[in-house]
Amino acid sequence: MHLVTAHGPARRAPVAVTGLGLVTPAGIGRETAWAGLKAGLSTATTDPDLSGLPVAFSCQVPGLDAAGLLGHRLARRLDRFTIFALLAAREAVSDAGLMPNGWDGARIGVVMGVGMGSIQNWQAEFDRLGAHLPERLSPLALPRSLPNMAAAEIALDLGAQGPNLVVSAACASGASAIGMGRDWLLSGSCDVVLAGGSESARLRMTAACFAQMRALSRRADSPATASRPFDRDRDGFVLGEGAAVLVLERIKDARARRARPQALLAGYGASCDAHHFTAPQPDGDAAARAMRAALSDAGLTPQDIDHVNAHGTATPQGDAAEHNALHQVFRRPPPVTAVKSTIGHAIGGAGAIEAACTVLTLQHQLIPPTANLDTLDPTLDLDVVAKVPRPLRMEAAVSNSLGFGGQNAVLAFTTAP
């Protein structure tokens, strides 16, 4: 529980990020994904799985050989979002130098963000049920699609027997999970937390529903230029998929095992617009409160922040609301990037992927560019990094995640000493 003072939440201790794993349309694995993010080129392309729909393109994880990576039997019973979660968790644990066969599993927590769960294989099941053949339903249909399985399968694979759950807060799910993971460490509930998010949003029903809501870009003639955060001609987001997992530890525990932190998770703030079931609060007031809460939690001022990894979906309303929120918090917002322009919108996985990107940004002192920003919307007064990466001396950055239902989560990171 956060302590509350007259000025908001009191500062709490940061925790160390000692490992991370990434599965994105820009590549599988942290180094490949980072290289793709630095390139700043959209991965959107025509999607055969969406053929015939009003919007039939997406950003897809390339070259996924699930059977080769996980074994045929395990890959067969997992849906795509859980495969992503498992691969990211394995990489994160290895990256942190941890050995699951030697750890105290009861002290290892797993918290993942999943926005929707999965309906990847449900069409065939509905067809069988509609044909009055319930006895032919797959016994795997239910367990493979439940949102909690992203965390449960990680625990099964790695022997993590501590607290285990999934957070569902739409597009803020992954960031919320990471914030909760820090809470578990600071409360003493766990010694290590695997925290992140995973989703595959490029499913036929998902794509059809978002198209009906007019939330998706309609640039079918040029998918690679469709996602255009903060651009004058933006017209919606592009569906994506992927996962990220961060290994979180108390700083003293990381030092005790001689693990070098890659960055520090210094603050977490959350809020709700309570404004509309899908549209953001136009003035960005609640998102601004989440940013201020994250900064207060971290003991930072707006002047301390060198970079913002924006939610940046490329919807006209969403980008404008985030712009307004940034101007409430910062006298002059620091340089901004929006990586959904490159890898699309992974919904529940997006906040975790962007948190991992923020860690890498601080680690490499390099801001990846926003793709497709040809003409900045003249109503948006922002310094958006575009076209090429920008080297910059940075000590602190925030990552924004703003979801349907008005659910906002903001993470504040600092460089590791």
Proportion of the chain above pLDDT 90, given as a percent:
89
Proportion of the chain above pLDDT 70, given as a percent:
98
Position 287 pLDDT exceeds 90: yes
Average of per-residue pLDDT values in the chain: 95
What is the average per-residue pLDDT within 341-359?
98
327 is catalytic: no
Rounded to an integer, what distance in angstroms lies between the CA atom of residue 27 and that of residue 23?
Answer: 6
What is the average per-residue pLDDT within 87-98?
98
171 is catalytic: yes
**Amino acid identity, residue 122?**
W
Rounded to an integer, what distance in angstroms lies between the CA atom of residue 208 and that of residue 218?
Answer: 12
Q: How confident is the model at residue 2 (pLDDT cuts 50, 70, 90)?
A: very low
Position 166 pLDDT exceeds 60: yes
What is the average per-residue pLDDT within 360-386?
98
What is the average per-residue pLDDT within 105-127?
89
Q: How confident is the model at residue 90 (pLDDT cuts 50, 70, 90)?
A: very high
Rounded to an integer, what distance in angstroms lies between the CA atom of residue 240 and that of residue 199?
Answer: 8
Which one from 190, 307, 311, 357 is the annotated catalytic residue?
A: 311
pTM, two decimals, is 0.95
What is the average per-residue pLDDT within 133-149?
90
Q: What are the tens digits of pLDDT across the range 288-315?
A: 999 999 999 999 999 999 999 999 999 9
Write down the pLDDT at residue 43: 98
Q: What are the tens digits of pLDDT across the range 15-64?
A: 999 999 999 999 999 999 999 999 999 999 999 999 999 999 999 999 99
Which one from 59, 171, 190, 357 is the annotated catalytic residue?
A: 171
Rounded to an integer, what distance in angstroms lies between the CA atom of residue 113 and that of residue 197?
Answer: 4
Rounded to an integer, what distance in angstroms lies between the CA atom of residue 144 and that of residue 353?
Answer: 22
Write down the pLDDT at residue 1: 30
Q: What are the tens digits of pLDDT across the range 222-254?
A: 999 999 999 999 999 999 999 999 999 999 999
Q: How confident is the model at residue 3 (pLDDT cuts 50, 70, 90)?
A: very low
Better-predicted residue by pLDDT, 142 or 287: 287
Residue at token pair 């595959």: 200
Domains of the chain, first to last: 15-257 (3.40.47.10), 263-415 (3.40.47.10)
CB within 8 A of 222, min separation 6: which ones? none
Better-predicted residue by pLDDT, 107 or 121: 107
Whether 120 and 50 have beta carbons less than 8 Å apart is answered as no
Better-predicted residue by pLDDT, 128 or 327: 327
- 381, two tokens: 């007064």
Enclosing H/E stretch for 82: helix 80-95
Which one from 59, 323, 345, 357 is the annotated catalytic residue?
A: 345
364 is catalytic: no
**Shortest CA distance to 265 belongs to which of 399, 155, 172?**
399
Rounded to an integer, what distance in angstroms lies between the CA atom of residue 75 and that of residue 66?
Answer: 6
**Shortest CA distance to 345 belongs to which of 246, 244, 227?**
227
Position 406 pLDDT exceeds 60: yes
Q: How confident is the model at residue 5 (pLDDT cuts 50, 70, 90)?
A: very low
Write down the pLDDT at residue 9: 54
Write down the pLDDT at residue 338: 98
